Amino acid sequence: MHKHDQLYIDGRWVSPASPRRIAVINPYTEQPVGHVPDADSADADSAVEAARRAFPVWSATSVDERVALLKRCHEIFAAKRDAFTATLVSEVGMPAKLTRRIQVGLPMQQFDIFADLLPTALAERQIGHSRVLREPIGVVACITPWNYPLHQIVAKVVPAIAAGCTVVLKPSEVAPLNAFLLAEVFDEAGLPPGVFNLVTGYGASVGQRLVSHPDVDMVSFTGSTAAGRAIGQAASATIKRVALELGGKSAAVVLDDADLPTAVRATVSSCFLNSGQTCTALTRLVVPHSRYEEVARLAVEAAERFTLGDPNDDATRLGPLVSRAQQERVHALIRRGITSGADLLLGGAEAPLPARGYFCLPTVFGRVAPGSVLDQEEIFGPVLSILTYPDGDDAAALAIANGTIYGLAGAVWSQDAGRAARVAGKMRAGQIDINGAAFNIRAPFGGFRQSGNGREMGIYGIEEFTELKAIQMPAS
C-alpha cells in the first residue's frame, strides 16, 4: 500500500489543510493500492506562494547549474526504475513489460535529452542591433492525466524547471502515486525549495484554483478537449499562457499501393496500446473500398492476438481500463456504435469478461460511416473503426482523415514515398507517421484545431516555458 498523507510544498513534506483522502484503485484487482491527500484551494495557494518566492533565485541560476541538476535527477530516477514500474502497473494497469519501456523508459530519457538541449534552447540570438533573449515565463501550473501519468508529468515539469520556471504539479487523482516518487527524486537531487511543488486533489478544487490563480503565469494541461475548453476560459481572466494537449481521433490512411498486412497490424497495435487509452491512438483505419474485406479479416486476426489478463503476466497484451467509470464509458460508446449501423466484427460490450478487472474486449467495427459516433468521438478504449473511400481517390481519404474536430496525429501507408509524403503534408495534424516510422521523443508533440495548442518534447518543449525579449542596442 502506498499511503501518502502529506504534500510536497516548499521543499518539505507538509500536512494538507484537510484530512480527506483519495483512494487509488488497482484496475486489475479492483482493490485500493494506496491513498493521497484530497487537497483544497488553501493548499494550492500555499504551493503557488512557495513557487513565487523561489522564482527570482531559481530563474537567475546558470544554465550549467540546471543541466547538472537534471543529470543528477536522471541518475536517481534510473535507480528507482523498478519502483516506478511497479507503481505505475498498479495504478494504470498497462502490462509491465510495456510500462517499463514506455511509461518509465521515455520519462527517464527526457531528463538527459532536456539537459543536452537546454544550452541551445536558451541561447541568445543577435538580430541586427537587437539582442533576442529567452527568459523563463514564471510560475507554471502543470495539470496532468492518468493514461501516461509519469510521461506527461516529466514532459511538462522537467522542461519548465530547466527553462528557469518554478512549478506546481497537480497530477490526476486516478493515478497520482508515481508523482510522489518523482518528488522524492527532486528532493534527493537537491532541487531548491519551492522550485517543484506537488498538490494532489480534484480538478474542481485544486485544479480550478491553480488555473485562475493570479500568481500563476502559465498553465500546461493534458486531458480531454472538454476540460481544455473550461481551462482556457478560466485562465483568460488573468491573460496567462495556456498550453493544451487534448483529445484525438487519429486516422491511418492506407493507400491502394500499401503493404496491407503490415499497415493493418501496425494500426491495430497503435489503436490498442495501453488498452486504447492513448491520445494519439490510430483509431480509424481508412482503406480503399476494394480492399475492405481483406482489411476486415486482417484487422480481426490482429485484434484477436491481444490477450487479456494480469498486467504482471508477460503473456498479457491488453490490460484493464483504468477505472470502472472508464469501462462504463467505453462500453456505452460501443453500444452507440452498434446502434449507428456499423458492423461489429469482433468484441463488443456484451460478451463475457474476466471475473475481475475493468476490462474491455478488443473490438473492431467495419463499414463505419463518416460522421457517425465511431468516426467522430474519442472512445479511449480498444476500439478500431474501419472506414472506406473510393479506390485511388486520395482526396476522399484525406476528407475522412481531416473530417473531425481533432488534429493530434495520423499515419499514411504507401509504397510510393513521394505520394505518402504528399498525403501526409495535407493531413491537419501535429504528427504524422509514414509507413510505421517510430515515435521521436526529440520532435515537437502537440495538436491542431481542438486537439490543443503549444508543443511538448525536445527543444520546443523548453521554448514553450519561455518569454521572448528583444533588447535594442545603440549604435557604437
Tell me which of 173, 245, 378, 464 is the catalytic residue. Answer: 245
Instruction: Report helix angle 417-426 to 394-401, nearest 10.
Output: 40
Whether the CB-CB separation of 109 and 101 falls below 8 Å is answered with no
173 is catalytic: no
How far CA 131 is from CA of 62, 135, 465, in Å, comes to: 18, 12, 19
Amino acid present at 259: D
In DSSP notation, 127-190 reads ETTEEEEEEE--EEEEE--SSSHHHHHHHHHHHHHHHT-EEEEE--SSS-HHHHHHHHHHHHHT
Angle ∠(239,280,312) on CA atoms, nearest 5: 115
Cell 456499423 identifies what position?
342
Instruction: Report how far residue 232's alpha carbon sits from residue 239's, in angstroms, rounded to the nearest whole number.
Output: 10
In DSSP notation, 327-381 reads HHHHHHHHHHHHHTT-EEEE--SSS---SSS-----EEEESPPTTSHHHHS---S
Burial annotation 224-239 (CB, 10 A radius, 16+ → b, else e): ebebbebbbebbeeee
Helix (H, G, I), strand (E, B) or coil at 325: helix
- Dmax (CA) for the chain in angstroms is 80
First to last CA, the chain: 67
245 is catalytic: yes
Amino acid present at 68: A
Tell me which of 279, 360, 378, 463 is the catalytic residue. Answer: 279
Cell 525536445 identifies what position?
458
Whether the CB-CB separation of 182 and 3 falls below 8 Å is answered with no
Whether the CB-CB separation of 157 and 196 falls below 8 Å is answered with yes
How far CA 2 is from CA of 8, 94, 179, 188, 357, in Å, comes to: 15, 18, 12, 19, 20
Nearest to 149 by CA among 121, 180, 109, 127: 180
Which residues are bridge partners to 386 per DSSP?
A: 285
Instruction: Report how far residue 94's alpha carbon sits from residue 357's, in angstroms, rounded to the nearest whole number.
Output: 12
Helix (H, G, I), strand (E, B) or coil at 241: strand
* Residues recognised as catalytic: 245, 279
